[in-house]
């Protein structure tokens, strides 16, 4: 299962993106809220991924924030709401708009979203009203945890590559400066890749 993608944004549309990871292009469906937060084509992007497996296809759905993905997962747990409609709902209302609408039993606001009829809106409200109450408080915790894990992983890679460069005879200050520059510009943060890119810079 693919749960996360980090790579270069090679195509960008309101409903989908293509992300290049190690030369492989992954097409990912996204809500508008994620589209607005993405950088320009050529920039490095990081998306949380939900992998939807069907008999005839494997589809990826991407989100910028943990709460977006969590709300998506809550939506597809509702009878009659599949991944495509869940993305449409998240495109029609942002997380900050959707959660209050569900909690306030705002049928009209949900039904204004294309593809959402009265029965679907009623099911979403009935099944999710209590479940979404805690999402806003969970967002900060999930975002902090994700950021902390990413930072810890980058620090571990940084230490390993600096150590390898020192063992190859490069002075520590030069090694630290080179690795920092590579980490800031490269989309792949694996030890092997960062070491390779650092050596390329040092050989110039």
At residue 146, does pLDDT exceed 70?
no
Sign of CA dihedral 143, 191, 181, 6: negative
The residue-averaged pLDDT of 2-10 equals 90
pTM of the model: 0.65
The string of pLDDT tens digits covering residues 35-68 is 988 888 988 889 999 999 877 778 999 998 888 8
Identify the CATH number of the domain defined by range 66-133: 1.10.150.20
Quote the CA–CA distance of 61 and 72 in Å, as a whole number.
Answer: 9
Contact indicator for 127, 77 with CB cutoff of 8 Å: yes
Quote the CA–CA distance of 59 and 19 in Å, as a whole number.
Answer: 14
The DSSP line for 132-171 is TTTHHHHHHHHHHHHHHHHHHHHHHHHHHHHHHHHHTT--
For 4-63, the fitting CATH number among 3.30.420.40, 2.40.50.140, 3.40.50.970, 1.10.20.10 is 2.40.50.140
Q: Which CATH class is domain 136-203?
A: mainly alpha
């Amino acid at each position: 299962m693919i749960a996360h993608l980090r790579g270069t944004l090679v195509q960008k549309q309101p409903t989908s993106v293509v992300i290049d990871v190690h030369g492989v292009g992954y097409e990912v469906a996204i809500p508008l809220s994620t589209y607005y937060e993405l950088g320009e084509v050529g920039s490095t992007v990081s998306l949380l991924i939900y992998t939807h497996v069907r008999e005839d296809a494997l589809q990826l759905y991407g989100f910028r924030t943990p709460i977006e993905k969590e709300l998506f997962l809550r939506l597809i747990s509702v009878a009659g709401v599949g991944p495509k409609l869940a993305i449409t709902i998240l495109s029609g209302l942002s997380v900050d708009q959707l959660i209050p609408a569900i909690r306030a039993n705002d049928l009209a606001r949900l039904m204004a979203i294309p593809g959402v009829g009265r029965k679907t809106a009623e099911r979403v409200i009935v099944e999710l009203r209590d479940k979404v109450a805690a999402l806003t408080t969970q967002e900060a915790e999930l975002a902090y945890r994700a950021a902390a894990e990413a930072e810890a992983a980058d620090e571990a890679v940084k230490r390993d590559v600096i150590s390898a460069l020192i063992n190859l005879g490069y002075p520590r200050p030069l090694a630290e400066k080179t690795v920092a520059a590579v980490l800031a510009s490269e989309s792949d943060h694996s030890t092997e890749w960062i070491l390779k890119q650092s050596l390329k810079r040092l050989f110039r």
